[in-house]
Amino acid sequence: REVALKIAAGEVVERPVSVVKEALENSLDAHSSRILVTLTEGGKSSIVVEDNGNGILWQEMPLVITRYATSKIATVNDLSNIKTLGYRGEAIASIAAVSRIDLRSKAKGAAEGGLLKAEGGSIVCHEQLPWKEGTRLQVDDLFFNFPARKKFLRSNLSELRKISALMRDFGAAYPAVLFSLYHNGNKIFETQGTGDRAAVLRSLWGASPETRSTTVSCGSIKLECWWQSTPGRQKNIITSFVNGRIVSDPLIRGAASAACKDFSGNWMFFFTLPPELVDVNIHPAKAEVRFRYPAEIFEAVKAASLDLQNRPTR
Ligand code: ADP
Ligand code: MG
């Protein structure tokens, strides 16, 4: 059983950035407006994610590391109408199975906060603890009990780069949330959290001669598209979010590389569509999605890309 848990954990947790992604998603699902991430050694020795969200009732903390226990969906019908980023109830359980975790939280309005510690998925401490509203998840010694996976981790710098890129993408996708990232005691970046996406992108992408944006609608799909020139770089970097969920989807990639090939730069696509028209439940790490009407995605990307080529600079 322990082996099975570790194998399953490996599908969700590949490297430190996978831990950060799942933790950020939980903080966002908990309606946090500030999320602070602190890493040590590229996240390999420690990852701390602290938020000011709804928190967790201290009595319910053991459920957080119990596989398939989720507070987010209750019925099979909910699966075709997923409004939260998480729904599988396996992320924290998987992370806990391959690390040492220290979870502190207090639920909004609760009298008491709590502390839960686990090693390799076994609870070693669960008690009440005074805490401010919100949640702090600390993940130490990732893969300490999974040497085969640990061997494949990259350098601290390369793990940090991945995490930092992911957090910048989240910063752009959630401009009303203040994200900050620290590594080995140094501040890497912080977004403003004012809700101004243009300002977030300016600060994340740096000064650029040109930034353009447009919003198009195509059938049931709304697409907000941002482009920024990257002089001296031919390669397109394309990032896409579907209903607030970061995806690396072959269909979107295909559509984007066709539509954007003569207009190189940083591209961000924010798709909004009715949740029942996109199946996010096809991949453990939730990276790929399936669209009910793929042609509309193609049309929207094409329309947005063409439109941007005729947009005034902002
Ligand atoms: P899922 O997000 O799919 O429900 P997770 O394993 O990511 O599963 O998290 C398990 C549960 O732990 C969540 O359903 C939620 O109730 C709780 N949880 C985890 N992180 C947080 C957080 N930062 N704030 C509030 N609740 C959290
Ligand atoms: Mg989750």
Give percent above pLDDT 70 in the chain: 92
Question: What's the average model confidence in pLDDT over 90-113?
Answer: 95
Q: What is the pLDDT at residue 79?
A: 66
List the domains of the chain with CATH numbers. 2-190 (3.30.565.10), 207-309 (3.30.230.10)
27 lines ligand 1 (CB under 6 A): yes
Lowest mean pLDDT among 113-117, 237-241, 245-249, 278-282: 278-282
Residue with more model confidence, 225 or 79: 225
Is 32 near ligand 1, meaning CB less than 6 Å away?
Answer: no
Is ipTM > 0.95 here? Answer: yes
Backbone angles phi, psi at 39, to 5 degrees: -115, 150
In the reported structure, the alpha carbon of residue 49 is separated from the centroid of ligand 2 by a whole-number distance in angstroms of 13
Q: pLDDT band for 80, please (50, 70, 90 cuts).
A: low
Q: How many CB atoms lie within 10 A of CB 95?
A: 24
Given a cut of 90, whether residue 2 has pLDDT beyond it is: no
Count CA within 13 A, CB hemisphere, residue 217: 3
Q: Which residues of 173-199 are buried (b: 16+ CB within 10 A; e: fewer)?
A: bbbebbbbbbbeeeebebbebeeebee
**Res. 234 pLDDT band, cuts 50 70 90:** confident
Residue nearest atom 19 in ligand 1 by C-alpha distance: 26
User: Does the C-beta of 55 come closer than 6 Å to ligand 1?
Assistant: yes
Confidence of residue 313 (pLDDT cuts 50, 70, 90): low
Determine whether the shortest distance from the Cβ of 87 to ligand 1 is under 6 A: yes
Per-residue pLDDT tens for 110-155?
A: 999 999 999 999 999 999 999 999 999 999 999 999 988 888 899 9
- Please provide the average confidence, as pLDDT, over all residues in the chain: 90
- Is the pLDDT at 30 greater than 60? The verdict is yes
Q: Note residues around ion ligand 2 (Cβ under 5 angstroms).
A: 25-26, 86, 91
Q: If you measure from the C-alpha of residue 277 to the centroid of ligand 1, how many angstroms do you get, rounded to a whole number?
A: 25
Which stretch of 215-219, 280-284, 306-310 has the lowest confidence by average pLDDT? Answer: 280-284
* Three-state secondary structure string covering the chain: CHHHHHHHHHHHCCCHHHHHHHHHHHHHHCCCCEEEEEEEHHHCCEEEEEECCCCCCHHHHHHHCCCCCCCCCCCHHHHHCCCCCCCCCCHHHHHHHCCEEEEEEECCCCCCCEEEEEECCEEEEEEECCCCCEEEEEEECCCCCCHHHHCCCCCHHHHHHHHHHHHHHHHHHCCCCEEEEEECCEEEEECCCCCCHHHHHHHHHCCCCCEEEEEEEECCEEEEEEEECCCCCCCCEEEEEECCEEECCHHHHHHHHHHCCCCCCEEEEEEECCHHHEECCCCCCCCCCEECCHHHHHHHHHHHHHHHHCCCCC
CA distance 280 to 80: 9
Quick check: CB of 89 below 6 Å from ligand 1? yes
Whether the pLDDT of residue 314 is over 60: the answer is no
Ligand that lies nearest to the alpha carbon of residue 114, given by its number in the listed order: 1
**Is 114 a pocket residue for ligand 1 (Cβ < 6 Å)?**
no
Is the pLDDT confidence value at 229 over 80? yes
Does position 76 have pLDDT exceeding 60, yes or no?
yes
pLDDT at 1: 60
State the residue for tokens 């939260």.
84
Measured in Å, residue 73 CA sits from the centre of ligand 1 at 11
Digit-coded pLDDT (tens) for 261-293: 788 889 999 999 998 898 877 776 667 889 999
**Any ligand 1 atom below 6 A from CB of 30:** yes
Q: Is residue 139 in contact with ligand 1, taking CB distance under 6 Å?
A: no
Strand partners, 239: 268
- 19: pLDDT confidence band, cut at 50, 70 and 90? very high
Q: Give nearest CA residue, ligand 1 atom 8.
A: 89
